[in-house]
Amino acid sequence: MSLVKELQEALFEAVSRKIAAYGFTGNKRNFCFYKRTPFGRLAFCLAFIRHRDDSDVTLEMAVRFDELEDLVNEHENRLSKAQRKSTFSLGVELGNLSEGRQKRWTVRSLEDVEPVAQSIMNSFVAIGLSYLEKYSDVRTALEVLSGDDQAAWLHSPFHDVRAKRALGLAFVLDDRERFSQLAAAKTEFLRSRNDSGLASFLEFREALEERLEQAIPR
Amino acid sequence: MCRKQRQGYDALNRLQTAQENSGASWSQTNGYDRYGNRWIDLGGGVQNLYFNASNNRISGWSYDAAGNLLNDTVHAYTYDAENKISKVDNVAAYVYDGEGHRVRKLVGENTRFVYGIGGQLLAEFDGGTGALKKEYVYGGGSLITIEPTAVNANGTQYTTSDVLGSPRVVTNASASVVSRHDYLPFGEELGAGVGGRTQAQGYSGDSVRQRFTGQERDPETGLDYFINRYHSSMQGRFTSPDPLLASAKFSDPQSWNRYTYCGNNPLVNVDPLGLLWYQNNDSGGLKWFDKDPGEGWKQWTQYSYYAGEQYGWVALDPRSNHYETGFETQGDAAGYSNAMEYVTAMQQDPAHDPHQFDQFMQMQLMLAPVDIAEVGIEALGEEGTELLAKGGIDAALKTAATETATETAQVILNRAAGKGAEAIVAKQLEAEGYTIVGSQVGVRTSQGLRFIDHLVEDPAGNLIAMEVKSGGGVRTGLQVAKDTEMATQGATIVSSKVPRLTGQLKVIPTVVRTVPR
């Protein structure tokens, strides 16, 4: 095993031991920690940036609402069943959230592992947990995904993806007034940007509108 | 008819004299200054061009601030932001795509050009009607042109090229000679009436664009389109400086002149991209000048050597022809060497032999400083995990390796270049107001996986894939093809380490950022 890989695995193990207290279970293959919730699951990932002699790591957090993701992925034929289960509804890179830019930790040797793991945990507790708790609330998630400003981009950078999730959440909440507002606003926004995802969004919108008209149960 | 040609060279291997039939047909004497500026010696101390020794530009001719020739006394040229000619005599002339390929000609004709993923010209269409004008097929060292009978009666034609790649004889479907082309050493064409050449022999002109060394010659200017810049056979030099800094080698001061053509050794060297000259070997492949560093150096693999205690293990970068030093172990140098070999092979032959690839992978697994298989499986994300569960390690490795071949090689190269470039660009991007959405993000295209060095969002909310290159690094043909697909049809993000992006099919353009090594 290369030194860099060894460092990554050591850091993962170190964080894994500490984060277990918060109910998160690690997946060694993608260096992510997951926690199941009544509505879906939460993710906290060590996103490694590999170099020849060391590795930088950034922290990614994400929230998945199962019902929303199932709805959005219903017609995603290009995704395998497993892939459909691995999409998330919104998320953020910790540094972009807290400092307005990517935040990195660097591990160069095994001696770095423990202090870096502790520093990561400090950030997780101070920022990550708060984020995951805040946006686990479906109404709060809907608020942020409804936006089309830079603050909203942080949580869902692809505009059509964000639009689908916002519309989907309004549908899931059965908030018809919000649904109509979002359908119009998001269509206008994507159209004004000439977004390549406009057609896909319109297809999704149409499918949901049909279901609303036919009063198909969610 | 027998034509005997003779050449003479100076101490720096620059072509000094050339003649045919002892000068009875034609002769040319070249002069050079110490910087490699070339002129034709007209006798009596008179030369066809004079130079400004401080910047290697032709004296009395006008250039822009970037060193592009603006007027060659016959035509005026306007350049675009990429230093490519866009107008001739102030008339819109050429249009280029994002990869620098000339996709449209508007002067003297109205033609659109279509290129393949390897960068070869595939077809020409009428810019006005959209009708097919000509198709190109490559094979057996020959270029075949096919013109629909509705366009003209040429039909299918075959070119036979010389060692430099210049089409010399064009034949038709009946194997009859249609036309012939001969050239002076720096590319000026020899027509009927010179040295016994006659129209009846075929020196009568034709519609084949590919001329000297196989590059397109523009009749409206006489310049040759060398992809990254234009060459003037009349002056025997390029009209713009070499954009590839890495082609200036410390070991060869003649390469420091950014206008010279092929080190002024045009009958030996070729420069198909206008970036870096090299010598064709006997089988038509690349022959690198200083592959063998010399006595006392022990060769380990194709491009790696042990250079003694002072330099340790070194490996050759065949793209820049430089030796990279600083490898701590034999394995590191060999890994770099193998990756280089593979990347070079992929550049020459994107549709490579799977056996060759297996061999490469085997060597990598033994020698490389990183575990490619793990990189591959990681890059495949959950699919890699599924493969691992279903088919075991071998199946997962094979798939991961196949899909990540080029990318993995590139990752190794990037790592060998150090973390500097990646981190430097990250800071630049943030300073410029970009938001880094993710780094080393894997995406899937129909042509395999691609790692985006930095996926960024600009202040206007546009997503861009930033490709980081250090030194003179350029994207491989396959990388360009994947990037083109990502920018047009889209690619699916497969990195599960950035959960909010995973599974999204997105159209994302790529921008290359280069950091000097």
Per-residue model confidence as pLDDT tens digits over B308-330: 665 567 776 655 555 566 566 67
The torsion angles phi and psi of A52, rounded to 5 degrees, stand at: -65, -45
| Nearest CB partner across the interface for B496, out of A54, A86, A161 | A86
Residue B1 has pLDDT above 70, yes or no: no
Cα distances from B310 to residues B50, B268, B297, in angstroms, run 44, 34, 12
Q: Kindly report, residue by residue over B466-504, the tens digit of the pLDDT.
A: 988 776 567 777 788 889 899 988 998 988 888 999 888
| Nearest CB partner across the interface for B497, out of A2, A4, A30 | A30
Cα distances from A13 to residues A7, A26, A48, B174, B192, in angstroms, run 10, 9, 14, 72, 78
- In this structure, chain B runs to a length of 517
Residue B371 has pLDDT above 70, yes or no: no
**Do A90 and B500 make contact, defined as CB atoms within 8 angstroms?**
yes
Name A178's Cβ contacts closer than 8 Å, sequence gap at least 6. Answer: A142, A146, A170
Q: Kindly report, residue by residue over A102-122, the tens digit of the pLDDT.
A: 999 999 899 999 999 999 999
**Do B370 and A4 make contact, defined as CB atoms within 8 angstroms?**
yes
Give the distance from residue B424's alpha carbon to the nearest chain A alpha carbon, in angstroms. 13
Q: Is the dihedral of CA B166, B229, B105, B117 positive or negative?
A: positive
**Do A56 and B507 make contact, defined as CB atoms within 8 angstroms?**
no
pLDDT at B328: 63
| Chains A, B: CB pairs < 8 Å | 139
Q: Kindly report, residue by residue over B200-220, the tens digit of the pLDDT.
A: 999 988 889 999 999 999 999
Q: How far apart are CA B488 and CA A150, in angstroms?
A: 25
Report the number of secondary-structure helices (H) and strands (E) in chain A.
11, 6
| Nearest CB partner across the interface for B436, out of A53, A76, A102 | A102
Q: Which residue has the higher pLDDT, A85 or B398?
A: A85
Residue A6 has pLDDT above 80, yes or no: yes
Give the distance from residue B406's alpha carbon to the nearest chain A alpha carbon, in angstroms. 17
| Nearest CB partner across the interface for B502, out of A5, A88, A154 | A88
Q: Which residue has the higher pLDDT, B358 or A199?
A: A199
Give the best-scoring range by mean pLDDT among B150-164, B317-331, B365-379. Answer: B150-164
Q: Residue for token digits 């004497």?
A: B29
**Do B383 and A82 make contact, defined as CB atoms within 8 angstroms?**
yes
pLDDT at B40: 95
What single-letter DSSP state applies at residue B210? B
Q: How many CB atoms lie within 10 A of CB B231?
A: 26
Residue B107 has pLDDT above 80, yes or no: yes
Q: How far apart are CA B309 and CA B298, in angstroms?
A: 12
pLDDT at B64: 95
pLDDT at B284: 45
Instruction: For B218-272, give the DSSP string.
Output: -TTT-EEE-SSSEEETTTTEESS--S-GGGS-TT-GGGG-SSBSGGG-TTTEE-T
List, in sequence order, the alpha helices (H) in B255-381. Answer: 308-311, 330-348, 354-367, 372-380
Give the distance from residue B460's alpha carbon to the nearest chain A alpha carbon, in angstroms. 9
Interface test with B, best of A87, A194, A198 (most B CBs within 10 A): A87
| Mean pLDDT value across chain B | 78
**Do B419 and A73 make contact, defined as CB atoms within 8 angstroms?**
no
Separation of first and last alpha carbons in chain B = 53
List, in sequence order, the alpha helices (H) in A60-124. Answer: 66-73, 81-84, 94-98, 110-123
Cα distances from A62 to residues A44, A126, B104, B152, B486, in angstroms, run 7, 16, 46, 62, 25
pTM for the predicted model, two decimal places: 0.49
pLDDT at B362: 39
What is the separation of C-alpha B14 from the centre of its chain, rounded to a whole number of angstroms?
23
Kindly state the average pLDDT of the residues B112-116: 90
Q: How far apart are CA B499 and CA A89, in angstroms?
A: 9
pLDDT at A90: 97
Report the number of secondary-structure helices (H) and strands (E) in chain B.
7, 40
Nearest-Cα residue of chain B relative to residue A104: B423
pLDDT at A84: 85
Amino acid at B157: Q
| Nearest CB partner across the interface for B418, out of A52, A154, A196 | A52
Contacts of B425 in chain A (CB under 8 A): none
Nearest-Cα residue of chain A relative to residue B335: A52
Residue B402 has pLDDT above 60, yes or no: no
Separation of first and last alpha carbons in chain A = 49
8 Å CB contact between B371 and B408: no
Q: Kindly report, residue by residue over B60-90, the tens digit of the pLDDT.
A: 999 999 999 999 999 999 999 889 999 999 9
Q: How far apart are CA B440 and CA B458, in angstroms?
A: 18
Q: Residue for token digits 């030796």?
A: B323
Kindly state the average pLDDT of the residues B267-285: 70
Kindly state the average pLDDT of the residues A203-212: 93
Q: How far apart are CA A201 and CA A164, in angstroms?
A: 6
Q: Kindly report, residue by residue over A34-54, the tens digit of the pLDDT.
A: 999 999 999 999 999 887 778
Over pLDDT 90: what percentage of chain B? 37
Amino acid at A76: E
Instruction: Report residue B185 as tokens.
Output: 């050493």
Q: Which residue has the higher pLDDT, B447 or A159?
A: A159
Q: Is B502 on the interface with A (CB under 8 A)?
A: yes
Interface test with A, best of B364, B456, B470, B500 (most A CBs within 10 A): B500
Residue B348 has pLDDT above 50, yes or no: no
Give the distance from residue A213's alpha carbon to the nearest chain B alpha carbon, in angstroms. 28
| Nearest CB partner across the interface for B419, out of A32, A52, A96 | A52
pLDDT at B508: 93
Q: Confidence band (pLDDT; 50, 70, 90) for B342?
A: low
Q: Which residue has the higher pLDDT, B372 or B111?
A: B111
Q: Is B500 on the interface with A (CB under 8 A)?
A: yes
Cα distances from B67 to residues B75, B122, B237, B272, in angstroms, run 17, 32, 13, 21
| Nearest CB partner across the interface for A52, out of B415, B459, B499 | B415
Contacts of B399 in chain A (CB under 8 A): none
pLDDT at B514: 78
Q: Is B326 on the interface with A (CB under 8 A)?
A: no
Q: How far apart are CA A102 and CA A94, in angstroms?
A: 7
Residue A147 has pLDDT above 50, yes or no: yes
Contacts of B378 in chain A (CB under 8 A): 29-30
**Do A93 and B437 make contact, defined as CB atoms within 8 angstroms?**
yes
What single-letter DSSP state applies at residue B21? G
Give the distance from residue A217's alpha carbon to the nearest chain B alpha carbon, in angstroms. 27
Contacts of B505 in chain A (CB under 8 A): 78
Q: Is B378 on the interface with A (CB under 8 A)?
A: yes
Name A184's Cβ contacts closer than 8 Å, sequence gap at least 6. Answer: none
Q: Is the dihedral of CA B290, B296, B302, B303 positive or negative?
A: negative
Q: How far apart are CA B426 and CA A174, in angstroms?
A: 42
Kindly report which listed range (A60-64, A169-173, B175-179) carries the lowest average pLDDT score: B175-179
pLDDT at B317: 62
